Amino acid sequence: MKRILAVLAVTALAAGVAACGSVTGSGHRLSIATGGTTGVYYVYGGGLAKQLTDNIANTQATASVTSGSVENIKLLAGGKADIGFSQTDTAADAVNGTGSFTAKQPIKAIARIYDNYAHVVVAPGLKASKVADLAGKRVSIGPPNSGTQVLARRLLEAAGLNPDSGISKQQLSINESVQAVKDGTIDAFVWVGGLPTAGIVDLATSKPDIKLLDTTDVLAPMQAKYGKEYVGLDIDMSLYKLPGTIKTVGVANVLLVPDKMDEQLAYDITKTLFEKKAQLAAVHPEAAKLDLKIGQQVDPVALHPGAARYYKEKG
């Protein structure tokens, strides 16, 4: 994973390509809004940037480090990014103008890509077997403007904890959360991401007595309040070189674009995503889950017409 991140450091440039999505004398410049550097969005986004650059004529794509889903959607809506990773719960808020958004956001989807898993990581020695046991503890719920924080707040509320007063709240990125556990400055953190997440692999390697909590007791109340966005998933802990399997809350991920993106460009991005699946899976295994049928299941966001045309052609 360290080798992968080193390669991506060349491909995935941090934030803010000027003239995002613009057509210049040299073609398209595309900015991909991802997440923290030890999360799956960043790794996947770096791989996607390389494939778009290599396979769409006169295109230069770069991946940007961001806080995650909420920020990514705001960057798309503000014309500062052209492709963004997002959880579907955050995307639902965006298209409805609720939650973190004060108005409906002008976004469309090109594909559902893989599922995110809620990781509730507990520091060595802390006695906790369920989310409610984190009452009064020092807990990071993810950085502001992240999809992790959206889900973490809902997860804590479903466990009967006020995320602002029921815990000693921290708002750290995945990188910062991992370091804080190593330093002993937090008791637990929530991370919502694919499998495996490099930062947690690193933490489990240096702190093999960490544990992840089963969160299935909060799934039903989350579904009752927010609907079908949340599902039950299993984490094979061998991915983190830890024993057993745990059950947790899951949420799908989608790739989003501005609703005004050129139809042919959206088509080309979608085509590259699926036709370069093997190359993307070599960068991160979650890309192996790309599937044409599942890819179209982007509710509650509408498919971009360019993506819809690609799926129709593939039958």
State the amino acid at position 12 in one-letter form: A
The pLDDT of residue 218 is 98
The pLDDT of residue 15 is 38
The pLDDT of residue 21 is 57
| Nearest-angstrom CA–CA distance, 12 and 20 | 15
- Quick one: average pLDDT of 245-261? 98
Domain boundary among 236, 251, 266: 251
pLDDT tens, position by position, 129-177: 999 999 999 999 999 999 999 999 999 999 999 999 999 999 999 999 9
Same domain, yes or no, for 121 and 234?
A: yes
Proportion of the chain above pLDDT 70, given as a percent: 92
- Residue 122 pLDDT class (50, 70, 90 cuts): very high
Same domain, yes or no, for 155 and 240?
A: yes
Whether the model pTM is above 0.95 = no
Q: Report yes or no: 190 and 198 within 8 Å, Cβ to Cβ.
A: no
| Range 95-98, long-range pairs (CB < 8 A, 24+ positions) | 95/300, 95/301, 95/302, 96/300
Same domain, yes or no, for 196 and 123?
A: yes
Placement of tokens 């036709």 in the chain: 275
Same domain, yes or no, for 94 and 164?
A: no
The string of DSSP codes covering 152-172 is HHHHHHHTT--TTTTSEEE--
Q: Whole domain around residue 74: which residue ranges?
A: 2-114+253-314
HEC string for 57-76:
CCEEEEEECCCCHHHHHHHH
CATH number at residue 110: 3.40.190.10
- Residue 293 pLDDT class (50, 70, 90 cuts): very high
289 has a pLDDT exceeding 50 = yes
Could you tell me the two tokens for 52? Answer: 């778009």
- Quick one: average pLDDT of 47-71? 97
Element (H or E) spanning 227, and its range?
none
Same domain, yes or no, for 120 and 108?
A: no
Count of the separate structural domains present in the chain: 2
Same domain, yes or no, for 68 and 193?
A: no
Q: Is the Cα dihedral 163, 164, 167, 170 positive or negative? A: positive
Same domain, yes or no, for 100 and 146?
A: no
| Nearest-angstrom CA–CA distance, 132 and 124 | 18
The pLDDT of residue 228 is 84
Same domain, yes or no, for 8 and 18?
A: yes
The pLDDT of residue 20 is 53
The pLDDT of residue 28 is 86
Cα 136 vs. chain centroid, distance in angstroms? 28
pLDDT, mean over the chain: 93
Domain boundary among 251, 279, 300: 251
Could you tell me the two tokens for 223? Answer: 């579904």
Give the relative orientation of helices 263-275 and 305-314 as an angle to the nearest 10 degrees.
Answer: 50
Same domain, yes or no, for 101 and 183?
A: no
Same domain, yes or no, for 275 and 297?
A: yes
Same domain, yes or no, for 129 and 200?
A: yes
Same domain, yes or no, for 48 and 153?
A: no
Domain boundary among 251, 280, 300: 251
